[in-house]
Amino acid sequence: MSFPGRVRAMKRHPLMKIMKNICDWLDANGIPHARVPLHVVPKVADGQITVTVTLLRSGRLYLDGKGDVATGSMSVPLRVEPPAVLADWLAGKVPAP
């Protein structure tokens, strides 16, 4: 598939339809959405959000020993409940791109 074709396909992906809601909700809870990989779905339990984020060193992505982007777990208090539109995504029912 050509690059423009891939871009069109991504725009039609179910995840892209709710991406602004995802970013707004993560940001409202103090999680920088730009550090959350697209395939990651946060876990919400016991008043906490736990999510995998990319690790930074001096403001840049940090690479692990294999040359992959290093990731770690981040947990924060749930300050803002997720909007209803994110229910399927949080339940793992929206496939990763």
60-87: pLDDT as tens digits: 998 988 999 999 999 999 999 999 999 9
Report the DSSP pairing between strands 43-45 and 71-77.
Answer: unpaired
Dist CA 11 CA 69 (whole Å): 25
Which portions of the chain are predicted below pLDDT 70? 1-12, 97
pTM of the model: 0.82
